[in-house]
Structure 1
Amino acid sequence: MTLAVNARQKDETKEKVLNDGTLKKDTFNQHGIAFSGNPQQVTQQLVAYLAKTAVERDAAGGTPYEQRQAVRDSGLLKLLIPQTYGGLGGNWQEIYTIIRQIARVDSSIAQVFAFQFLMLTSIRLYANDTQWQHYYRLTASHNLWWGNALNPLDNRTIARKISGGYEFTGQKSFCSGSMDSDYMIVSAIEENTGKFLVAAVPTQRKGIHLKGDWDNIGQRQTDSGSAEFEQLLVEDGELLIDPGPLSSSFASLRSLVAQLIFTNIYIGIAEGALEEGVKYTSSNSRVWSGSLAQTIHQDPFTLLHYGEFWAGLHASAILADHAATLLDQAWEKDLSLDEKTRGELALAVFSAKVNATKSGLDVTTRIFEVAGARATTAKLRMDRYWRNLRVYTLHDPVDYKLKDLGDWALNGNYPTPSFYA
């Protein structure tokens, strides 16, 4: 397997096109943070930096090159990689806690940051030992960022067998984090056989065209647009098919890692909305004329709403933390992971996701009821929490998670492993 690193790392003064069409020379050291301390301390420094421009960047959309570079410089991209291979050796509880903290201030960065670990998970679960150890060492030593073009529902990319590998040709949608990445996880359907193929390839390779066409109402800086592959060469050694997707209970953990990523980002977004609402209510909201309270902090209906918000989010967080604990235990079992343990984890993850979706949408929608009419000012962009959560919660229907939970409650059946369950 050939070593390939994003050309941006070779030229640190590369010009980039900004959203207004102008050019800017990026030194990729403009955030001015001398990251230090353990991962939690570094996260606090990163969160403070991201919060400074989150509102403006939500309005601008596009690729947050400077902020992505700050994440690179933080060293957190190798959090999942064991220390044996040059990483930080973090566990899933730690990773999800950090993802949630970032999501409170910048859920777009939280998503592409979290997908780093989903892509590394794909490599770990689908590849043979030689492959995943190679990519883990490569990622840790070169601080690589991974983008996503693995979309099981989008079968428009076809793989044609050639000598020494395949050619991938077609389109992919929802390629989150692909812009400004070094490597990508891509998928295709093999012609004639219909086999689902997954591979790891350098983003700069000829035949990959990233469209940069993501312009949705929420998660506006996730670069979740489309990609086109034109006779993209994929070497045999880059295919992650040994043992491959869904080949065992352990390999099927990818979907649960993903679902718990979504869950923690949902919670983080809602916690950010609640924190913003508290700040605004405390400093700007007024007691309604019909209230008997002297201050907004004593108004019974304001307290009631905040109580509902807190109860919902607190319960969701506890469920998510419990699921993360079970995931760490399942992850340690490796190929010895059995169906029952995997099934119990799936139930915990789905329960957390359902509750996080409902409580999160409740908070981000109703926070204006306690903040008041002035909180709807465009300058504050407090609506970004609802927009981000609404877009992200549509990733896959929560109704199907409820169906799986109902099948367990009524019939005792664990969720059937798939790319989404």
Structure 2
Amino acid sequence: MTEHAVVERSPWHGAADATELDHWRAVAQAAAEHLGADAWERDRANEQPFAELEHLRGTGLVNLLVPAEHGGAGAHWQTAFEAVRILARTDGSIAQLLAYHYINQATIVFYAEPADQGPWWRRSAEGQWVWGDSVNPVDPTLELTPDGDGYRLNGLKRFSTGSSVGDVIIINATVRGGDQDGAVLAFVVEREREGLELLDDWDFLGQRLSASGSVRYHDVRVDPADVLGEIEDEDAFSTLVTPAIQLAFGNFYLGVAQGALARGRELVLARPRSWFLSAAPTYAEDHLVQRTVGELVARTAAVEALADVLNAEFDAVLGLGGQVTAEQRAALAIKVAGLKVVSTEVGVDVANRIYEVTGSSSARSGVGLDLFWRNVRTHSLHDPVDYKKLEVGAHFLLGQVQPISLYT
């Protein structure tokens, strides 16, 4: 790799301007309204979200981060994170799919050599690929066995978000045998690849349409052309993939909180009277209701302010490319961990406590308020938030930084 290529590395530079942000906010809002019209009914039906992803393709959101020279919108990560947040206000499952798609698609940059990235981008843009994943790092059961000039893939991988509906799946697996024994490779296969078995076993409380079931691999052929590259755990630039993942989570939880507040407001305003012990004529005019709502709105606004700062900061650090240092990467990761803490707690709390002001009628099946709590409660268990608190605390007290992983 040339010195210029090492320094460059990132195709994303500068910051999102008002024109870019306003345009894609409007696009995402229109998509959110479309999805929100029947989000609860689709959640109950629990069918694979092929139609929903087809709608996203039509909006252009799928190619949002693809560099313009390769056929995409050439937008920034701040814009992408906001799009995820906006979709999460009405449909958490599809917001998760879009968030993971952005991260998975970006592995083109994080793992492939700069000279090889263009063809990957162009194929993805032209096919409007949605990228699923099969990389769960706490379920390391996949093995690549050398076979001729390629490999054979075997094993089971759970929590493979988007795998059952995406056009392609990004996979991480360890090579066993041969000259690359022990190396962890990132590679891409199409969903219909022979030997790939989609188990369709995702049956959880929330995020029901996130297509996060297990995938079993039976001697799946992996050719050299499928390989993006080797995963290097200590490379400051490529490991920015983890702060990106966690930042997407923070925006997702924020969006769910905002959606729960918006739906709660509708329900409160629709209540014609007030509690019989209240002196107020309606629930919306009851000071106790106003106090609870005011607290939840203020806390959500604080999370939004932090997320907005970090979304822009991520673009700035990513734009450094090969010049980003381990110290810069660590500083960003700690800030994002802080967002993970507060967005998780506020998201879960808002989605829960909004019931205190909407009343018993809002718990009726069909109202749909439960969707927000079920979604944020389910996804917030992705990795324990207490360990994020430890990261932030250890860094504040001792300057310690956690070892780099797909979680830190």
Structure 2, unmatched stretches of 5+, are 1-21
1:346, 1:415 within 8 Å by CA — same for their partners in 2? no
The alpha-carbon distance between structure 1 residues 252 and 285, as it changes in their structure 2 partners (threshold 3 A), is farther
Aligned residue number for residue 30 of structure 2? 45
Cα offsets for 1:116-158 (capped at 9, x unmatched): 1111122210111133221111111121111111121111111
Among 196, 201, 207, which residue is 1:208 paired with? Answer: 196
Q: Please state if 1:65 is matched with 2:50.
A: yes
Deviation at 1:285, TM superposition (A): 6.2
Q: Which residue number in structure 2 is paired with residue 141 of structure 1?
A: 126
- Matched with 1:166 is 151
Tell me the equivalent position of 1:401.
Answer: 388
Q: Residue 417 of structure 1 aligns with which residue?
A: 404
The corresponding residue for 1:191 is 176
Report Cα offsets for 1:239-275 as digits up to 9, x if no partner.
2325x34241001101111001111111111111110
Q: Is the 8 A contact 2:49 2:211 kept in 1?
A: no
Residue 336 of structure 2 is matched in structure 1 by 349
Alpha-carbon distance in structure 2 between the residues aligned to 1:108 and 1:327: 24
Of 120, 132, 136, the residue aligned with 2:117 is 132
Which string of whole-angstrom CA distances, capped at 9 and with x for unpartnered residues, describes residues 66-88 of structure 1? Answer: 11111111121110111011110
- 2:217 pairs with 205, 225, 229, which one? 229
Return the structure number with greater relative CO, CA threshold 8 A, min gap 6: 2
In 2, Cα distance between equivalents of 1:110 and 1:361: 17
2:59 paired residue number: 74
* Residue correspondence of structure 1 range 114-125 to structure 2 within 5 A: 114-125=99-110
Return the letter of the residue paired with 1:140. Answer: A
User: Can you list the C-alpha shifts for 1:278-334, whole angstroms capped at 9, x where unaligned?
Assistant: 000011264212222233222111111011101111111111111111110111001
Q: Distance in 1 between matches of 2:291 and 2:272?
A: 16
After TM superposition, the structure 1 stretch with the greater mean CA deviation from structure 2, 99-108 or 209-218, is: 209-218
Q: 2 CA distance for matches of 1:286 and 1:338?
A: 59
Mapped pair 1:241 → 2:229: yes
C-alpha separation in 2, matches of 1:224 and 1:299: 42
Whole-angstrom distance in 2 between the partners of 1:285 and 1:115: 42
Q: Is the 8 A contact 2:198 2:216 kept in 1?
A: yes
Give the secondary structure class of the aligned counterpart of 1:254. Answer: helix
Q: Does the 8 Å contact 1:62/1:223 carry over to 2?
A: no
Corresponding residue for residue 26 of structure 1: none
Q: Does the aligned pair in 2 maintain the 1:347–1:415 contact within 8 Å?
A: no
Larger deviation: 73-82 or 124-133?
A: 124-133
Alignment of 1:287-326 (within 5 A): 287-326=274-313
Counterpart residue type for residue 212 of structure 2: S
Match of 1:272 in 2: 259
Asked if the contact 1:182–1:203 (Cα under 8 Å) also holds between the matched residues in 2, the reply is yes
Letter in 2 for 1:368: Y
How far residue 370 of structure 1 moved from its aligned partner, in angstroms, is 0.3
Q: CA deviation at 1:197?
A: 2.2
Question: How far off is 1:412 after superposition?
Answer: 1.5
Q: Partner of 2:205: helix, strand, or coil?
A: coil
Q: State the identity %.
A: 33
Which of the numbers 326, 330, 333 marks the counterpart of 1:339? 326
Q: Distance in 2 between matches of 1:357 and 1:203?
A: 32
Between the aligned partners of 1:285 and 1:251, the Cα distance in structure 2 is 55
- Structure 2 equivalent of residue 363 of structure 1: 350
Mapping of residues 377-392 of structure 1, within 5 Å: 377-392=364-379
Contact 1:248–1:335, Cα closer than 8 Å, also in 2: no
Which one-letter code corresponds to 1:54 in the other structure? A
Give, in whole Å, the separation in 1 of the partners of 2:272 and 2:353. 15
- Is the counterpart of residue 176 in structure 1 residue 164 in structure 2? no
Q: Which SS does the other structure have where 1:185 is aligned?
A: strand
The alpha carbon displacement at 1:344 in A equals: 1.6
Cα distance, 1:130–1:247 mapped onto 2, change above 3 Å: farther
- Specify whether residues 414 and 347 from structure 1 end up closer, same or farther in structure 2 by C-alpha distance, changes over 3 A only: same
Contact 1:119 1:185 in 2 (8 A): yes
Do the aligned partners of 1:103 and 1:110 also contact (CA within 8 Å) in 2? yes
Kindly tell me the number of residue pairs found equivalent between the two proteins. 384
Distance in structure 2 (CA, Å) of the matches to 1:281 and 1:174:
37
Output the TM-score relative to the length of structure 2: 0.91
1:250–1:293 distance in 2 versus 1, CA, 3 Å: same
Counterpart of 2:245 in structure 1 is: 258
